Structure 1
Amino acid sequence: MEADFRSAVIEEDLQVLDTESRELTPRASELLAHRSGDVVAEEVRNCVIRARTSPAHTASGLRSALRDVRESLRRVGEDRGLTVAAAGAVPLVPPGSALVDESPRMRRLLADYEFLARGQIYCGTRIRVDAVDTDEAVALACRIAPHLPVFLALTASSPFLRDGSDSGYASCRSVAASQWPTTAPVAGVCSAEDYHALVDDLVSSGVISDPSMVGFGIQPGADGRSVEILVCDACPSADATALVATLFRALVEREAAALARGAEPAAPVETRLRAALWRAARSGLEGALVDPVTLEPRPAADVITDLVDSLAEQLSGTGDLDTVRELVDDALYNGSSAFRQRQTLRRRGHVQDIVDLLVVETSGTSGPRSPVPDAHSRLFGVYLPIEGLDTDPSWDEAVEAGGRPRAPYDPVLTALQQIGTVRLRARQVRAEQEASVAGVTFRVTGQERPHAFPMDFVPRIITSEVWERLAAGIEQRARALDAFLDDVYGDQEFLAAGHLTPEALDRAPGFRRSTGRVLGADRIRAHICGIDLVCADDGRWLVLEDNVRVPSGIAFSTAHREMTASLFGDLVDEFDLHSPDQAFPMIRETLEAAAPPAAGDTPNVVVMSSGSADSAWFEHRLIADRTGLPLVTPDEVVFRDGILHRRTGDGLLRVDVVYARIDEDMLLSSPGLDGVPLRDGLLDALAGGRLTVANALGNGVADDKAVYASVPAMIDFYLGESPVLDQVPTYLCADRTQRDLVLDRLGELVVKPIDGYGGLGITIGPECSEAELAARREELLTRPEGYIAQEVVALSTLPTFDGTHMQRRHVDLRAFAHLRREGGRTTAHAVPAGLTRVAPAGSLIVNSSRGGGGKDTWIMR
């Protein structure tokens, strides 16, 4: 029976890696020397080997053969500090020529093709299926070529370049391969005679040295008795590679039968096929593919499913149909290797983790098997406690302990279940691409390039009753902080009453004794405050941190709303939500209200940024655009006769209010339009009442972690009120008694630098190693005044889509309050919008600059 079916052989290039450094290493010969059999051949680079399976004609046979070859190589390398990875590219490639084989063939390639041969080391997969002769192989190539994009999408596994930067493609290997002079989707001829003539012409032209350099996406095999595809990346998923081989073998069977019935082997239009392959290389399984029949874009899942359905007869003949459908379901559920690699980098932040993922998948499986085809099981079947934490699961705002959605979230989670994993992932990738186009980016600490701000589809829902209490709490806190700032740069009555020591004030890095006093008394200082809140203990809200220097995040809340509105449609309107766009007229109103009396009834306000290098540049641009205010940098303003002016097309225009989205020290030291630092002019204009800077200079003292501990006392001292919102119990390590308590409980507490921001320098006791705790202990013994400690708060969690399923992630909420002088008194106005920030997987630190993301915040009216 087996003789009635054509067999397939898989040849894949495997990258040889050093297990310690995780880098490519030129030691392929060591594996070859100890590998029994003749199924492994050395490649032209000595860090790559080519493994070949024995022939098989079923999906299970191909998968087993591929796994056996990989396992034998893994065992050989295990004792030698070597391993292999099947991937189109790996992101850790050492410099130099050590990886290049010094064979005559390689030297010829380097001499003829230079940078093409010296570039990143790419690895592909070659799948060969029996053919009667070269004539049939050429004809089969013509008929099968339109399906090549599906094979590329299924195996796409080269998203990163050799330096670890993202190429923007799911398969940069295939894009790079297209630069070679003889690379094309298909030869474009329909007979063996024409094919051989084409190859002879290429050799005689001197463009290639021999026929082995021909690299069409699909072509006759060198033996003349097979047809082979070369379009695929080497793929860590043996299942995906075996799936492609099985589909290709079935296509050969079907098209061979069609040819035997007299069908024409018409060559496809190369330009269209090349474009379709580019589309597959760009987005893999996570975007649209070009339908081979209609040439219209369609979801990859639909195109692949249609192909399987069209091959049902051939797959059933070998007993493969059920297996192939399972493999397709798994591939779509887990996503492409390129997608999984990007998710790994996002979760863990290290290129080495990508290599580890590739090694694990090469030797095992590429993720969980797809659950039963039920949307809830797919999305929430693995809704587990936070990865990496030993504590009990935190309170989840959306899902009850028994797994049922809480009432406000029921329609949202139901809608997500109906969309399903595969389409939700495709929408997520598309949304992030659109975010990049719109400039919704943020720079993670330690990374040079900004990335699309990670945005999750599952919103946070805040009922009107909860929001009423939160709004009252943040308004109260903003008024108290503003009163403190006015006092601390004035009479310092709060210190005199013993609520804060002079030493604590002097230690506060944000305290600016000279610049802070420039502003006259009874003036608003904290015009726009950002208050960070966390939900804990079954719905109890706490204040985690205050931000009255340059609080960011409001623009991202708008971007989130636009994304969720595109997903949920009318459901957003059914919830009767506050629009985050309300924030922008509020910003303008607050800034105009802050203008000095000399500005008159039509003050001129500008938004000032350090420029496009700022991590929040997107927000600066959006605020300026939505408020209708000009966006300027320091080098666009200048002082004339003690008044600040900005450059316009018509000359200089007076400026009354500067909304400073720039660090205070940078603002003061930056040269203006005339090259003179702005410091003296700013201080003179502020002191003379001719200019307002929002937020005011010196506000950083209120962001100090040690000062935070005194805010409840501020509320009582300045307002005569009790705090509406509690805050996290805090210990001042500058106090000997409190420091000793912290040292005794170091493994239980969160320790923060008093001047820390962006989550920098924080240690969370239960998550720390003994070495990390020992280092922090030494810091507390030698410089205790630089730290505070807090109780660990079990931050609430919300479902967050990680590309495959919903995962619990810790969240916080940045809410905003504006202060204005109205009718001789200070009024506070909570902004009915907020930024829900999501911690990276396995972390309690919720901060965008640490690699977290965000969610839309639905505040109900």
Structure 2
Amino acid sequence: MTPADACAGPADPAGAVRKVGVEEEFHLVDLRTSRLTTRAPELLDVLPPGSPYVEELQRCVIEANSDVHRHLDDLRVNLQSNRSVLVDAAAGLGIGVVAAGSVPLSVPTEMLVTETPRYRRMLADYQLLAREQLICGTQVHVDVTDRDEAVAIASRISPYIPSLLALSASSPFWADGTDTGYASARTLVWQRWPTTGPFPDVYSAAEYDDEIERLINSGVITDPGMVYFDVRPSARVNTLELRVCDSCPSVDTIALIAALFRALVIREARRLDSPSPPTSPALYRAAIWQAARAGLEGDLIDVDHSTPRPAADVITDLTASLRNELEDCGDWPAVDELTRQALTFGSSSARQRRTLRRRGRFTAVVDNLIAETAGTLTEAPLPDDPEGRLLHGYRRPEQPADIPTVDSPDRASYDEAVASAGASRPGYAEILASAAALGANTLRKRQYQIEREQSIDGVTFRVTGQSRAQLFPLDVMPRYIGADDWQRVSRGLRQRALALNTFITDVYGDQECIHGGILPPEALDRAPGYRQTGRMPAWQRVRTHICGTDLVSPEPGHFVVLEDNLRVPSGIAYAMSNRTLMTQFMSEIPMPAATMSVADVPRMLGETIAAAAPPDAHADGIDIMISSGWQDSAWFEHTILAAGAGLRLTTPEHISVDVTDGPDAGRVFFHHGTSRVPVNTAYVRMDEDMLLSSNGFHDQPLRDGILDGLGRGRFALANALGNGVGDDKAIYHYVPAMIRYYLGEEPLLDQVPTWLCAERHQRDHVVDNLEHLVVKPIDGLGGSGITIGPECTAEELSRRRVDLLTQPERFIAQEVVALSTHPTFDGNGFYAHHVDLRAFVHLRAAGDERVSAHVAPAALTRVAPAGSLIVNSSRGGGGKDTWIQGADPAPREG
């Protein structure tokens, strides 16, 4: 029996406590895969006879109907009881239950419509709409005196319905894992049906019934049950039904919406003798769209005044305006507290996005939704922040974040902003205080505004395993790096870049490093990045024009090199974008006057590429950037850097090579329209194998012509071919020895102790200590294939042990570094997330066979999901604006 059926008896007179009931729709997911499962018929068969559960259009959805209640607490208990029965029965079948507008993991083609005549007809009539109905909603029923009253009230409460939708918003992701950019994507899907949207312009039950009859006669719908207006009178009994809301994982959210809707019905019933200004249908639809877009994190439209206002203000004002009715129902204390909680924790949609940012996996999002639906999710407590810094989520000294290593198993991470006793570290006192002074609600809104601006600007990165690029999340708390620390790091970066450049030049030349015993000959045989093409051209003194070095900080003032990137290091444009966004949206956090500007980064790149010109450069030649195109994960960066550096951004199909014996032999040309322009230097932002295997203009193969141009000194590539040998994870082991050999200096930056598994005794050490070590494929990119011993299951360690015993040459192992943590805003406060730093060094030929090294004034801080040590952007991490103090470090020649 639905709540509407239960309300069929005599209603209370206007002004008394009216009964309220709820219909909830639930997604069913496979507990093993976290994907939608079409097992509703099987679950319905095992539920108790006479229980309040019914089938829905899709066989991956079940509906539950509450009883009707006058007391809000009774409704909450009833809803939780219905969920408990459903959850327990489903768990016995290996099924999870999710109350949300959508779930991010499903295969739409595997979904099935329930086999009843009515639903089969709906599928035949509505096709795509029915097939994509992978959404769930919550409906609230409140009893009314009669259907005339229901119609009269429905036309009066339109201005407030968008606020109720915003409270319920729980569908940010679509079935394929795409972030839709909306808080309630379900609303977009739902409103495609022909009878959804605003209540029609009618004022009596007779007028309403005539309207529905006309719709049925039109053939668009078959019965009154297919009328899906956002609010509607029941077709059978005296209730008014709210239909606009997403399903809600939290019972408290449903209780809040039900209480507010009942209070609205009571208030407007009392006002029926007073005129009510009509609501513009166009403005109403705009307000619904805005609520679906923003949830509680952005602005809602104040329909009465046709203006945008912060969602928190709109919801607070609505609750306050209904206080009399809520008190009459006995709901005011509960609603006041539930409203505060809703605005403190934010919408379910925002919480799901935070879960994805923190943990980097959609399965974690689904797991949290299952737990919250069942009432077993351990929710973060409401902020208890006596220091006024929103640091209530920080670990205290008695709860260290231990990260064991082989040599020091009790070694723990340190936090760069907050000392163990809770005091601010140097440079952070004003930053922390200013950020906390904004409050969680304002920070959530700013985060939403930043994400919206990123969407406009296309600040995206493709996460490994996803078909579409996602926004590159920017945290609202900046990272501060002091001048002394940066000077030390810069000296070490320049030293390391010069040594690696010399190594690559040497290894493709005389190979003095082999003869001098710096690394064994077999090291090159095992290095996937060592290529014959790297021997071309011999004239090029600079091979690593732009180096990206990844650093971590295990203790204050101490930075350690984690990895070198000498092929196509990305990230600097994201650092520039982060600065722009922070300046625009977080100006209340004062940036120190000594913070280095990032404005000259593009000009610096242009100068570096110009300095890479070949010996026989064309007088009218240009410099270009070659990308694989818009589908590249870093396409945003390519467009920003090319425009700022004065490079023509192009793809291989706009390039041609002259393979004749004429005067242009060895020249490379860029084609634009009907013109053909010679190219001197190409900054390559794509894999070298992809470039050399591409066909160019008029489908001409490019490989031979590019190699010929390099050999003749008429064309240059930055970075050079074959550079992968220098950032090979096994070669990394030898870099300190290279610095001593080529530069005659001691390394200024430490690096992580590394074991080469190709060496038998080192491999045995790794196998014996696998649970304490990080194991990486030597050719792995983007954090792929990594196992972190302390985070692995016994099964994962067993599989990696087999890899090491059968293919040891494919792997290296390193200690687990105690990466520093940094305050990161997670919706309610600042929590400790691990961070690293990608810094950039430019190398240029400086004359007299020397090379100069220049450190860029911008660096990218990357943030790991909570609890993870993998900060790589392609694994779902985010970024921070990095405030580096001091003047630009002076270049070094070597």
**Alignment counterpart, residue 293 of structure 1, candidates 290, 304, 315:** 304
Q: What is the deviation of 1:378? A: 8.1
* Contact residue 473 and residue 877 of structure 2 kept, 8 A: yes
- Name the CA distance, whole Å, in 2 between partners of 1:760 and 1:800: 24
Distance in 1 (CA, whole Å) between partners of 2:285 and 2:343 is 24
Aligned partner letter, 2:242: I
1:317-369 CA-to-partner distances (Å, cap 9, x unmatched) read 33322221211122122222222333334444544443332221111167636
Quote the residue 1:628 is aligned against.
646
| 1:128-139 map, 5 Å | 128-139=141-152
Q: Which amino acid aligns with 1:854?
A: G
2:559 is aligned with 1:541: yes
CA distance in 2, matches of 1:733, 1:96: 44
Distance 1:489 1:67 in 2: 69
CA drift at 1:534: 1.0
Is 2:859 the counterpart of 1:834? yes
1:538-581 residue CA offsets vs partner (Å, 9 max, x unmatched): 33211111111111111111011112112332655544311122
Correspondences of 1:243-258 after superposition (within 5 Å): 243-258=256-271
Q: Indicate conservation of the 8 Å contact 2:358/2:864, yes or no.
A: no
SS in 1 for 2:465: coil
- 1:843 is aligned, of 849, 862, 868, to 868
Closer, same or farther in 2 for the Cα pair 1:334/1:388, shift >3 Å? farther
Select the residue among 306, 324, 328 that pairs with 2:335: 324
Q: Unpaired segments of 5 or more residues in structure 2?
A: 1-11, 405-409, 659-663, 887-894
Separation in 2, partners of 1:45, 1:759: 38
How far, CA to CA, are the matches of 2:292 and 2:144 in structure 1?
28
In percent, how many aligned pairs have the same letter?
Answer: 51
Instruction: Report the Cα distance in structure 2 between the residues aligned to 1:49 and 1:549, rounded to whole angstroms.
Output: 52
Q: CA deviation at 1:388?
A: 10
Distance 1:339 1:387 in 2: 26
TM-score (norm 2): 0.91
- 1:601 is displaced (CA, Å) by 7.5
Within the alignment, does 1:126 sit opposite 2:153 as a pair?
A: no
What is residue 5 of structure 2 aligned with on the other side? none
Residues 608 and 658, structure 1, Cα contact 8 Å, conserved in 2: yes
Q: Deviations over 1:265-302 (max 9, x none)?
A: 55422121111111112222222111132121111111
Deviation at 1:372, TM superposition (A): 4.8
C-alpha displacement of 1:81: 4.0
Q: Which amino acid aligns with 2:309?
A: R
Moved more, 488-497 or 739-748: 739-748
Match of 1:8 among 7, 20, 26: 20
Aligned 1:449-848 pairs, distance under 5 A:
449-512=468-531, 514-521=532-539, 523-569=541-587, 571-599=589-617, 604-640=622-658, 641=664, 642-649=666-673, 651-824=675-848, 825-848=850-873
Distance 1:835 1:451 in 2: 18
2: distance between equivalents of 1:93 and 1:493?
56
Once the two structures are superposed, the pairs formed by residues 103-114 of structure 1 within 5 Å of their partners are 103-114=116-127
Superposed displacement of residue 511, structure 1: 1.2
After superposition, the Cα gap between the structure-2 partners of 1:249 and 1:341, relative to the gap in structure 1 and judged at 3 Å, is: same
Given the alignment, which residue of 175, 183, 186 partners 2:196?
A: 183
CA gap of 1:476–1:772, structure 2 versus 1, over 3 A, is: same
The aligned residue for residue 892 of structure 2 is none
Aligned residue identity for 1:360: A
Which residue number in structure 1 is paired with residue 322 of structure 2?
Answer: 311
Match of 1:380, SS state, is coil
Q: Which amino acid aligns with 2:203?
A: C
Change (3 A) 1:685 1:444: same
| Distance change >3 Å, CA 42–CA 594, structure 1 → 2 | closer
CA contact (8 A) 1:759 1:847 kept: yes
In 2, the alpha carbon distance for the partners of 1:516 and 1:372 equals 57
What is the CA–CA distance in structure 1 between the aligned matches of 2:542 and 2:835, rounded to whole Å?
Answer: 31
Give the deviation of 1:254 after TM superposition.
Answer: 1.6
For the structure 1 residues 47 and 561, does the alpha-carbon distance in structure 2 shift closer, same or farther, using more than 3 Å as the test?
Answer: closer
Q: Could you say which residue in structure 1 is the equivalent of 2:48?
A: 35
The separation in 1 between residues aligned to 2:588 and 2:135, in whole angstroms, is 46
- The alpha-carbon distance between structure 1 residues 330 and 369, as it changes in their structure 2 partners (threshold 3 A), is farther
In 2, are the aligned partners of 1:670 and 1:678 still within 8 Å (CA)?
yes
How much does 1:782 deviate?
A: 2.4
Q: Per-residue deviation at 1:14?
A: 2.7
SS of structure 1 residue aligned to 2:309: strand
Q: CA RMSD in A?
A: 2.5
Select between 412-421 and 562-571 the one with higher mean Cα deviation: 562-571
User: Per the alignment, in what secondary structure is the counterpart of residue 476 of structure 2?
Assistant: strand
Q: What amino acid sits opposite 1:321 in the alignment?
A: W
**1:629/1:34 Cα in 2 relative to 1: closer, same or farther (>3 Å)?**
closer
Distance 1:620 1:108 in 2: 50
8 Å CA contact 1:579, 1:832 repeated in 2: yes
- CA contact 1:457–1:563 (8 Å) conserved in 2: no
TM-superposed deviation, 1:222: 3.1
Give 1:248 shift. 0.8
Task: Please tell me the residue identity of whatever aligns with 1:448.
Answer: S
SS in 2 for 1:542: strand
Amino acid in structure 1 at the alignment position of 2:290: R
| Structure 1 residue 516: Cα displacement | 1.9
Conserved in 1, the CA contact under 8 Å of 2:618 and 2:679?
A: no
Report which stretch shifted further, 519-528 or 587-596.
519-528
Structure 1: distance between partners of 2:196 and 2:400: 47
CA deviations on 1:92-142 (whole Å, 9 max, x unpaired) are 456668742332322332343333333323322221112222222111111
* 8 Å Cα contact 1:486/1:521 also seen in 2: no
1:380 and 1:669, CA in 2 relative to 1: closer, same or farther beyond 3 A? same
User: Displacement of 1:30 after TM fit?
Assistant: 4.5
How has the CA–CA distance of structure 1 residues 232 and 850 changed in structure 2, closer, same or farther, with 3 Å as cutoff? same
**SS of equivalent residue, structure 2 residue 370:** helix
- Aligned-partner SS, 1:35: coil
Using a 3 Å threshold, how does the CA distance of structure 1 residues 271 and 95 change in structure 2: closer, same or farther?
closer
| C-alpha separation in 2, matches of 1:585 and 1:625 | 10
Distance 2:533 2:559 in 1: 35
Which is further off, 591-600 or 679-688? 591-600
Counterpart residue type for residue 10 of structure 1: V
> CA distance change for structure 1 residues 41 and 723 in 2, over 3 Å: closer, same or farther?
closer
TM-score, with structure 1 as normaliser: 0.94
- Residue 153 to residue 388, structure 1, CA distance change in 2 (3 Å): farther
Secondary structure, aligned partner of 1:597: coil
Q: Which moved more, 1:204-213 or 1:183-192?
A: 204-213
Aligned residue type for 2:452: Q
In structure 1, the residue corresponding to 2:600 is in which secondary structure?
Answer: helix
Whichever residue aligns with residue 316 of structure 2, its letter is: T
- In structure 2, do the counterparts of structure 1 residues 406 and 570 end up closer, same or farther at CA, with 3 Å as the change threshold? same
One-letter code of the match for 2:872? Answer: N
Greater Cα shift, 175-184 or 657-666:
175-184
Contact kept? 1:254, 1:314, Cα under 8 Å: yes
Question: Which residue identity is paired with 1:757?
Answer: L
Alpha-carbon contact 2:618-2:714 (below 8 Å) kept: no
Structure 2 partner of 1:53: 66
Q: Secondary structure in 1 aligned to 2:859?
A: strand
Q: Structure 1 residues 96 and 601, CA, compared in 2 at 3 Å: closer, same or farther? A: closer
Is residue 376 of structure 2 the alignment partner of residue 357 of structure 1?
Answer: no
